């Protein structure tokens, strides 16, 4: 367990460093992108799939902006750290490293404000991620990337290219071979129309990296269930069912702990899903992802990550050598630099004289 937590913590720190240095993948740079080499869990779904509710259920808190249309307009890298019971839980943004947010309503506001800072108060999107770390006794050690919801049509105020722009952004995350795809689909809609599954099948046809999540199981038509989905759309991993909070519960600010308990009660008492209770729900999903995240991409990709870091260091050191030594800031160091330059000039001048 200690090894798993230290490895996940290492990946989290590297991701934060990448963002601070302007490396968030997918761009044309002079050096290799470390961000693209890192493992990730990409959360993918349509705009009404219940994606936000799944993330909040995993965290056990209300913290994501809500509204109509495209609410997630920048990738949100959500890094979860489990702390001991009794410790103060809080959130911290990489762009505000010294500020601890203990009020989750303020976290929600900061996500919205930081999104607007880059995109403006419009409906535009940006590939530059927001980094949020949450320290809580109610989470598992895990990193998730919340991506803009896939959509089929542009709404007023959006360019016609928004549909393609969002798909390209999401695709840039899920097509990486070291990316785990968390494909969110509502159970009360035809799974054949699921944008998340369609995209996942294109980039991961074997289903090895895809985890299917069915939301809104409690909203299916009476007399129907989602058991056939797993048989019709097979993945390498079993589908996981989730029961979201209802809109009425959200409006009443029903506590997420209460919502988790109601979710467990739903599965335990359901004639359709009672036999699967131990492998259903948001708590099980979080533990499953944390385990797989370590077993598959983190452990497998660590040697290549180490190699890329060493390669990048060599490239940067070579560039530094080409630029020359740094100039000192104090008078003594600057005088020394001038003397060094004079000696170098004297040496080169003599070589030319001797050669001529």
Cβ(79)–Cβ(145) below 8 Å: no
Tell me whether residue 165 is in a domain: yes
Tell me what pLDDT residue 297 has: 54
Q: In this structure, what CATH number is given to the domain that contains residue 49?
A: 3.40.50.300
- HSE, side-chain direction, 13 A CA sphere, residue 80: 26
106: exposed, middle or buried (Cβ count in 10 Å: 0-12, 13-18, 19+): middle
pLDDT at residue 7, as a whole number:
65
pLDDT at 99 over 70: yes
When pLDDT is averaged across residues 67-84 and rounded to a whole number, the result is 83
pTM above 0.85, yes or no: no
Residue 344 lies in a domain: yes
C-alpha pair distances (Å), 17 with each of 22, 23, 131, 331 = 9, 8, 10, 33
The pLDDT tens digits of the residues spanning 130-157 come to 999 999 998 888 889 999 989 887 776 6
- Cα–Cα nearest to 102, from 143, 61, 53, 146: 61
pLDDT of residue 44: 96
The verdict on 162 and 205 lying in the same domain is yes
pLDDT, averaged across the chain: 82
The total of structural domains in the chain comes to: 2
Residue 289 has pLDDT above 90, yes or no: no
Element (H, E) at 296: none
| pLDDT tens profile 168-178 | 999 989 998 87
- Of 32, 125, 43, the closest CA to residue 77 belongs to 43
Residues 226, 342 within the same domain: no
Distance in angstroms (rounded) separating the CA atoms of residues 181 and 61: 23
Least confident span in 16-25, 292-301, 333-342: 292-301
In a domain? residue 312 = no
Q: Which residues, other chains included, contact 18 with Cβ-Cβ below 8 Å and sequence gap of 6+?
A: 24, 25, 34, 35, 38
Question: Is 89 in the same domain as 199?
Answer: yes
Task: Return the higher-pLDDT residue of 27 and 33.
Answer: 33
Residue 316 lies in a domain: no
Please indicate, yes or no, whether residues 151 and 243 belong to a single structural domain of this protein: yes
Q: Can you tell me the distance from the alpha carbon of 88 to that of 135, in angstroms, rounded to the nearest whole number? A: 8
Do 248 and 329 belong together in one domain? Answer: no
Choose the final residue of a domain: 261, 282, 299.
Answer: 299
Same domain, 148 and 253: yes
Same domain, 71 and 107: yes
Is residue 318 in some structural domain?
Answer: no
Beta bridge partners of 65: none
The domain in which residue 345 lies consists of 325-355
**Largest CA-CA distance found in the chain, in angstroms, rounded:** 98
**Do 104 and 91 form a contact (C-beta atoms < 8 A)?**
yes
Q: What is the dihedral of CA 84, 85, 91, 94, to 10 degrees?
A: 0
- Of 91 and 208, more confident: 91
The torsion of the CA quartet 47, 53, 58, 61, rounded to 10 degrees, works out to 130
Q: What is the mean pLDDT of residues 78-107?
A: 92
For residue 131, being part of any structural domain is answered with yes
pLDDT at 314: 78
Which residue is it, tokens 């007023």? 156
* In the chain, % of residues over pLDDT 90: 31
Model pLDDT, residue 254: 80
* 122 and 195 share one domain: yes
Extract the tokens encoding 246: 């209802």
Map tokens 């708590």 to a residue: 283
Contact 305, 13 (CB under 8 A): no
In a domain, 314, yes or no: no
Place of tokens 């993918």: 44
Cα(136)–Cα(108) distance, integer angstroms: 16
Task: Locate 222 and state its tokens.
Answer: 């009476």
Q: Tokens 């809104």 — which residue?
A: 216
pLDDT digits (tens, 9 = 90+) for 179-226: 899 999 999 888 888 999 999 999 999 888 899 999 999 888 888 888
Q: Do both 261 and 339 map to the same domain?
A: no
Query: Is residue 231 included in any domain, yes or no?
Result: yes
Residues 56 and 104 in one domain: yes
Per-residue pLDDT, 130: 92
Burial class for 301, CB neighbours closer than 10 Å (0-12, 13-18, 19+)? middle
Tell me: do 251 and 343 sit in the same domain. Answer: no
Is there a single domain that holds both residue 182 and residue 261?
A: yes
Supply φ then ψ for residue 157, to 5 degrees. 95, -5
Question: pLDDT category, 160, cuts 50, 70, 90?
Answer: confident
Token pair 């080169």: residue: 348
């Amino acid at each position: 367990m200690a090894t798993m937590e230290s490895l996940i913590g290492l990946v989290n720190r590297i991701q934060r460093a990448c963002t601070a240095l302007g490396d968030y993948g997918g761009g044309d740079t002079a050096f290799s992108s470390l961000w693209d080499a890192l493992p990730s869990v990409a959360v993918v779904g349509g705009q009404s799939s219940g994606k936000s509710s799944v993330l909040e259920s995993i965290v056990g808190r209300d913290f994501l902006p809500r509204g109509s249309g495209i609410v997630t307009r920048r990738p949100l890298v959500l890094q979860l750290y489990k702390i001991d019971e009794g410790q103060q839980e809080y959130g911290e943004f990489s762009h505000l490293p010294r500020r601890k947010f203990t009020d989750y309503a303020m976290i929600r506001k900061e996500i919205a404000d930081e999104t607007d800072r880059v995109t403006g108060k419009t409906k535009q999107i940006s590939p530059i991620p927001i980094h949020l770390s949450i320290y809580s006794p109610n989470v598992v050690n895990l990193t998730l990337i919340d991506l803009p919801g896939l959509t089929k049509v542009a709404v007023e105020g959006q360019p016609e290219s928004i549909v393609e722009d969002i798909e390209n952004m999401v695709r840039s995350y899920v097509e990486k071979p070291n990316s785990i795809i968390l494909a969110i689909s509502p159970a009360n809609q035809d799974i054949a129309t699921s944008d998340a599954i369609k995209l996942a099948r294109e980039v991961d046809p074997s289903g090895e990296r895809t985890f299917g999540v069915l939301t809104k199981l409690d909203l299916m038509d009476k007399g129907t269930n989602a058991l056939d989905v797993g048989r019709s759309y097979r993945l390498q991993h079993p589908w996981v069912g989730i029961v979201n909070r209802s809109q009425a519960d959200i409006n009443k600010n029903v506590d997420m702990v209460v919502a988790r308990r109601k979710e467990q009660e739903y599965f335990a008492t359901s004639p359709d899903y009672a036999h699967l209770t131990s492998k259903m729900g948001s708590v099980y999903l979080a533990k499953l992802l944390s385990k797989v995240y370590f077993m598959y991409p983190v452990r497998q990709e660590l040697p290549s990550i180490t190699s890329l870091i060493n390669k990048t260091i060599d490239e940067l050191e070579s560039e530094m050598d080409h630029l020359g030594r740094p100039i000192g800031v104090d008078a003594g160091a600057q005088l020394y630099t001038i003397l060094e330059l004079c000696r170098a000039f004297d040496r080169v001048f003599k070589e030319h004289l001797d050669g001529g």
